Structure 1
Amino acid sequence: MKKIMLLALVFISVNAFAQEKKGDNQRKNQKEMRMQKSDFTPEQQATLLTKQMTLKLDLSESQQKEIYSLNVTQAFDKLASREAMKKAKEEGKKPSEQERYDSMVARLDKQILMKSQMKSILKSDQYAVWEKDMNHQKRGRQQGGDKEENGPQRERRS
């Protein structure tokens, strides 16, 4: 009887460790998609993003053209900053405090400009959906995944 119980315990514990966590597989897929996106040209990235936004926001033709131009500009900016960071890393240069501050201010200025441009292009209901989606993505990056994926958050008690 002891051997059967021990065997059952071993089987259950091995089975528990062998199962993959629910969020791990999705995170791997997202990482693969990001890696694949970096292989695309800025125009291709902008096209993909514009089409995704068209599906989510039901954009008109004129809205698609305007948003595509914004996405192309943004993709080229990202590519340029990525190349600059890569070059600096290869040279072993670390940015000074002022350079880091300036880059953060520039990034925030670009975000503010993008938000105001999107507000002028999109209708109010489309803008609300876009803004909600952007906040959801931002929260997901900060937490390492979506809130729904991680389950309900526990409150800390002092």
Structure 2
Amino acid sequence: MKKIMLLALVFISINAFAQEKKGDHQRKNQKEMHMQKSDLTPEQQATLLTKRLTLKLDLSETQQKEIYDLNVTQAFDRLADREAMKKAKETGKKPTEQERYDRMVERLDKQILIKNQMKSILKSDQYAVWEKDMSQHKRRGQKRGEKAENGPERESRS
């Protein structure tokens, strides 16, 4: 009887570990999407993003062209940044505090520039929708464990 109980217990515990967790499937899809996104050329990334914005904001032809140009520029910048990070990682050299600060300032300057360009391209109602979408996108990233820009402020509230 003890052997049967022990065998049943082992079988149940093995079966429980073999079950896929709820979030695992979603995480796998996110990883696949990330891998597919990195395989795309900057032009392809820009085209996809422009089409998504066209569907969401009902863009005109001229708006699509201007946003596509902006997206291509951004995609090439991201590619260059990714290559620079990869090269720095291969050399094993860690950035100094000043270099990290400069990189953060540069990133924020780019965000301000993009925001101003989008404000000039989009109509006020389209811009409001885009702005809301960007804030939701930022919050989703924070939920996944990415650093929040106002991290210390957020932690002090808890």
TM range (shorter): 0.7 to 0.9
Q: Does 1 or 2 have the higher relative contact order (CA < 8 Å, sep 6+)?
A: 1
**Aligned amino acid, residue 30 of structure 1:** Q
User: Are 1:93 and 2:93 counterparts?
Assistant: yes
Which has the larger displacement, 26-35 or 105-114? Answer: 26-35
2:36 equivalent in structure 1 = 36
Residue 67 in structure 1 maps to residue 67 in structure 2:
yes
Deviates more, 1:49-58 or 1:74-83: 49-58
> Structure 2-normalised TM-score?
0.78
TM-score normalised by length of structure 1: 0.78
Residue correspondence of structure 1 range 110-149 to structure 2 within 5 A: 110-144=110-144
CA distance in 2, matches of 1:18, 1:123: 52
The amino acid of 1:121's aligned partner reads I
> What is the aligned partner in structure 1 of residue 53 from structure 2?
53
Alignment match, 1:5 = none
Q: Could you list the runs of 5+ residues in structure 2 that have no partner in the other structure?
A: 1-8, 146-157
Please report how far the alpha carbon of residue 94 of structure 1 lies from its aligned counterpart in structure 2 after TM superposition.
0.7
Unaligned runs of 5+ in 1: 1-8, 146-157
Secondary structure of the residue aligned to 1:38 is helix
Whole-Å Cα distance in 2 between the matches of residues 12 and 30 of structure 1?
Answer: 31
2:4 corresponds to: none
* Count of aligned pairs between the two proteins: 145
Moved more, 15-24 or 114-123: 15-24
